[in-house]
Amino acid sequence: MEKTTREKLIYAATDLFRRKGYSAAGLTEILQAAGVPKGSLYHHFPGGKPDLALETARWAGRYLSRLMEEAFQESTSFKEGVTRICNAIADIHDARGAWDFCPVTGTLLGGPADERFRLAALEIFESWVKLSKTHAIRLGMAEARAELQSRAALLLIEGAWITARADGSADIIRRIPDMLEA
Amino acid sequence: MEKTTREKLIYAATDLFRRKGYSAAGLTEILQAAGVPKGSLYHHFPGGKPDLALETARWAGRYLSRLMEEAFQESTSFKEGVTRICNAIADIHDARGAWDFCPVTGTLLGGPADERFRLAALEIFESWVKLSKTHAIRLGMAEARAELQSRAALLLIEGAWITARADGSADIIRRIPDMLEA
Amino acid sequence: MEKTTREKLIYAATDLFRRKGYSAAGLTEILQAAGVPKGSLYHHFPGGKPDLALETARWAGRYLSRLMEEAFQESTSFKEGVTRICNAIADIHDARGAWDFCPVTGTLLGGPADERFRLAALEIFESWVKLSKTHAIRLGMAEARAELQSRAALLLIEGAWITARADGSADIIRRIPDMLEA
Amino acid sequence: MEKTTREKLIYAATDLFRRKGYSAAGLTEILQAAGVPKGSLYHHFPGGKPDLALETARWAGRYLSRLMEEAFQESTSFKEGVTRICNAIADIHDARGAWDFCPVTGTLLGGPADERFRLAALEIFESWVKLSKTHAIRLGMAEARAELQSRAALLLIEGAWITARADGSADIIRRIPDMLEA
DNA sequence: AATGAATGAGTCTTCATTCAT
DNA sequence: CATGAATGAAGACTCATTCAT
């Protein structure tokens, strides 16, 4: 049941990239948090920091996809699904001390203007929109509206994730459902 | 009509902070872009990089406030005002190559978990919400709704500013008005 | 007719040491060029990089000895022998892109100030001089002159091997025979 | 009469590059030998190690040019000039412990396969040949022979500089004049 | 005999800042 | 006010080697 070195690195990197952003999070700091020696990183991530960031963001992307999927599965309306998602994110936020970025934003968009980063972020965002849209339709929404609402939800969540950092509170995230139909 | 050293620094810093984020934008790089010698910075910004960032963000905050004020002044409905604002931001985005952060996000939230940064960002965001809310009420909206719509607009714009980076396009910013009343 | 792991290592090391010099050629790089896994090296060369370099240089030394031996065997005068040798070396040079060191120079003298390296290089150089001198005498030259001419030939070849790197061309190597009797 | 930081760096780098070669000589080591702190290097040599190497080699190139110029000025024959040069180089060699490369070879050709390095080395070598040739002609030699003899002298000296490292002695450098007319 | 993981000292370079002029 | 030099901690990354399997 031991965590592998690779997993330790991804966990630590996820934590630090979302808390400080890609550029501000030092490799030394990550290695130390992971309890992994310097040289090991490049064995598992030959491309260094960028490689680690890409893996980290994808891992977080899948994690949030699962969270969304479960939220929608348990819901009987689109709004309920979004509410569950926002509450879950807000809870995580509260638990972590509220200096968080969205893991994708902090990790990939907080980094250098690197095309690989941009594409990876785009792919993750689009996968979220698609997932949301699918459930919106399943729950009875017309396609055009499902698309717009899903995209709006993404923007609101990303925007809230940003301003929550300034607020020092996750409250704004919990108000998103009301905004969606305002 | 020469730009002062101080202005040169703020312009260059604004540009680089919003393009790369606080941490990734080096002081050397900023000084060079500004065409200002190494030692000059600490005359004008004794607090160093954080000082410069704070001034820069406030400057950009005021700039956007003016932009919003004008947009609402020329409008006869809240939606029209938001539309003008989004188009203006999208135009700037296009002109700059679409790797931009919101200047406040990139400058203050892309930096270290510094309480002064957080508070300054909060103040700027709140001033925007207040400005928007005032105009919404002036244009006939009920207060509670004006508050929620203004806050939603902020989240949508900030969220769009983020995802536009991934999209490599400012289009999503132009779709915000439709989302506000979806 | 498969190459053994050991041979693969020596070939790859020969190539890289003479192209970049001992210090600049990384073990990882050599292992990769050889298509040999990380851990294998120390089975075949327990002394690590220095061991590999020593073997490599000796191997190259013998290779060049054979080349010289054949060249002199086919010749009817000392000058003809030297000409054949220089042309052969120049041809190799051309074929490899002209960034080459003499394999002994690059491998042993481009490394650390290690006494084992120095002595190995000395032994190889002396074996070449001896071979050349023997043939010079066999072809009718007086001993004292044979010794001086052989030593001069070595210096000219080593010097040319160096300056050819700067020239980006092997031409200077082909001009050596004319210099020997100038 | 203080040495400037820049000069300290060049002296230390010259010493270490010619003793160990570009790749094996560490920057830390050079900085320490120069008694200069880490960060200072990049103020004076913004291009880092390669910049330092280029300057260093050019400096050494000029130094040797002066040495050659003086040697020829004091001589009444080409052979005498070469003899003086070889003796001077051999003396330096002896004084330094005989692990030396030619400063150009060690610094520029012992480095990476960098076109700037190659060109700089070529320029220095050619300046030496030109200087030698000019004096050979002045001292009565026919042009074609002056060219060949000058080029031969360069190869012999460079070759001797290499093999002297293996010999652990500068004697071979002193034998060059005999080889030139052998 | 073979191998991929582990290791930490080492590489070069950049950082934000201070200082003397 | 202005400036270029100085500074050393920290940055990301590579090194040759050892180890457990």
Interchain pair B162, A118: CB under 8 A: no
Distance C50 CA to E3 C1' (A): 22
* Overall size of chain B counted in residues: 182
What is the distance between the alpha carbons of residues A8 and A36, in angstroms, rounded to a whole number?
8
User: 3-class DSSP state for residue C107?
Assistant: helix
In tens digits, chain A (182 residues) has pLDDT values of: 478 899 999 999 999 999 999 999 999 999 999 999 998 999 999 999 999 999 999 999 999 999 999 999 999 999 999 999 999 999 999 998 878 999 999 999 988 889 999 999 999 999 999 999 999 999 999 999 999 999 999 999 999 999 999 999 999 999 999 999 75
Q: Which residue is nearest to nucleotide E3 (CA to C1')?
A: C39
Interchain pair A155, B179: CB under 8 A: yes
Q: Which residues of chain C have pLDDT under 50?
A: none
Instruction: List Cβ neighbours of D57 (8 Å cut-off, separation of 6 or more).
Output: D17, D103, D104, D107, D108, D120, D121, D124
- Which candidate, B129, B88, B78, B136, places its Cα nearest to that of A163? B129
3-state secondary structure C14-40: HHHHHHHCCCCCCHHHHHHHHCCCHHH
* A7 alpha-carbon distance from chain centroid: 18
- Answer for the pair A5, A40: CB distance below 8 angstroms, yes or no: yes
pLDDT tens-digit map of C155-176 = 999 999 999 999 999 999 999 9
Interchain pair A151, B165: CB under 8 A: no
Distance C102 CA to E17 C1' (A): 48
User: 3-class DSSP state for residue A56?
Assistant: helix
CA distance A61 to chain B (A): 14
Q: Phi then psi for B102, rounded to 5 degrees?
A: -60, 135
pLDDT for the residue D111: 85
Interchain pair C21, D19: CB under 8 A: no
Kindly list the residues from chain B whose CB atom is less than 8 angstroms away from the CB atom of residue A152. 156, 179, 182
The single-letter code of the amino acid at C43 is H
Instruction: List Cβ neighbours of A112 (8 Å cut-off, separation of 6 or more).
Output: A22, A23, A50, B20, B24
What is the distance between the alpha carbons of residues A122 and B96, in angstroms, rounded to a whole number?
19
Measured over the CA atoms of residue C84, residue C90, residue C95 and residue C99, the dihedral's sign is: positive
Please report all neighbours of D, defined by 3+ CB atom pairs within 8 A.
C
Q: Which of residues 43-72 of D touch strand E (CB under 7 A)?
A: 48-50
Is the distance between the Cβ of C169 and the closest atom of strand E smaller than 7 Å? no
What is the distance between the alpha carbons of residues B54 and B36, in angstroms, rounded to a whole number?
19
- Answer for the pair C151, C165: CB distance below 8 angstroms, yes or no: no
Helix, strand, coil percent values for chain D (each to nearest 5)? 75, 0, 25
Interchain pair B158, A154: CB under 8 A: no
Kindly list the residues from chain C whose CB atom is less than 8 angstroms away from the CB atom of residue D18. none
* C30 alpha-carbon distance from chain centroid: 19
What is the distance between the alpha carbons of residues A107 and A57, in angstroms, rounded to a whole number?
6
User: 3-class DSSP state for residue C1?
Assistant: coil
What is the distance between the alpha carbons of residues C44 and B100, in angstroms, rounded to a whole number?
55
In the structure encoding, which two tokens stand for residue B123, read together? Answer: 């103040």
pLDDT tens-digit map of B73-113 = 999 999 999 999 999 999 999 998 878 999 999 999 988 88
Q: For B175, what's the count of Cα atoms within 13 Å in the CB-facing half-sphere?
A: 20
Using a threshold of 3 CB pairs under 8 A, tell whether chains D and C touch: yes
CA distance D71 to chain C (A): 21
Q: For D56, what's the count of Cα atoms within 13 Å in the CB-facing half-sphere?
A: 32
Using a threshold of 3 CB pairs under 8 A, tell whether chains C and B touch: no
- Which candidate, D81, D94, D64, places its Cα nearest to that of D158? D64
Interface test with B, best of A129, A162, A169 (most B CBs within 10 A): A162
Question: If interface means Cβ-Cβ distance under 8 Å, which residues of chain B face chain A?
Answer: 19-24, 99, 101-102, 105, 108-113, 118, 121-122, 125, 145, 148-149, 151-152, 154-160, 162-163, 165-168, 172, 175-176, 178-180, 182
Q: What is the H or E stretch that residue D15 is in?
A: helix D5-20
Is the distance between the Cβ of B42 and the closest atom of strand E smaller than 7 Å? yes
Q: Which nucleotides of F are covered by protein (CB under 7 A)?
A: 1-20
pLDDT tens-digit map of D116-161 = 999 999 999 999 999 999 999 999 999 999 999 999 999 999 999 9
- Answer for the pair A85, A68: CB distance below 8 angstroms, yes or no: yes
In the structure encoding, which two tokens stand for residue C107, read together? Answer: 């491998």
Interchain pair D166, C122: CB under 8 A: yes
Interchain pair C175, D151: CB under 8 A: yes
What is the distance between the alpha carbons of residues A149 and B64, in angstroms, rounded to a whole number?
27
- Cβ-count burial of D160 within 10 angstroms (0-12 exposed, 13-18 middle, 19+ buried)? buried
Interchain pair B23, A21: CB under 8 A: yes
In the structure encoding, which two tokens stand for residue D14, read together? Answer: 């010259």
Question: If interface means Cβ-Cβ distance under 8 Å, which residues of chain C face chain D?
Answer: 19-24, 99, 101-102, 105, 108-113, 118, 121-122, 125, 145, 148-149, 151-152, 154-160, 162-163, 165-168, 172, 175-176, 178-180, 182
Q: Phi then psi for A139, rounded to 5 degrees?
A: -90, 15
In the structure encoding, which two tokens stand for residue D160, read together? Answer: 């001797």
CA distance B1 to chain A (A): 34
Among D22, D168, D179, the residue with its CB nearest the CB of C148 is D179
Kindly list the residues from chain D whose CB atom is less than 8 angstroms away from the CB atom of residue C110. 21, 23-24, 110
Q: Phi then psi for A53, rounded to 5 degrees?
A: -65, -45
First to last CA, chain B: 48
In tens digits, chain D (182 residues) has pLDDT values of: 478 899 999 999 999 999 999 999 999 999 999 999 998 999 999 999 999 999 999 999 999 999 999 999 999 999 999 999 999 999 999 998 878 999 999 999 988 899 999 999 999 999 999 999 999 999 999 999 999 999 999 999 999 999 999 999 999 999 999 999 75
| B182: confidence class by pLDDT, cuts 50, 70, 90 | low
In the structure encoding, which two tokens stand for residue C75, read together? Answer: 């010749």
In the structure encoding, which two tokens stand for residue D171, read together? Answer: 């004697």
Nucleotide nearest to C40 (CA to C1'): E2
Interface test with D, best of C22, C149, C155 (most D CBs within 10 A): C155
pLDDT for the residue B2: 72
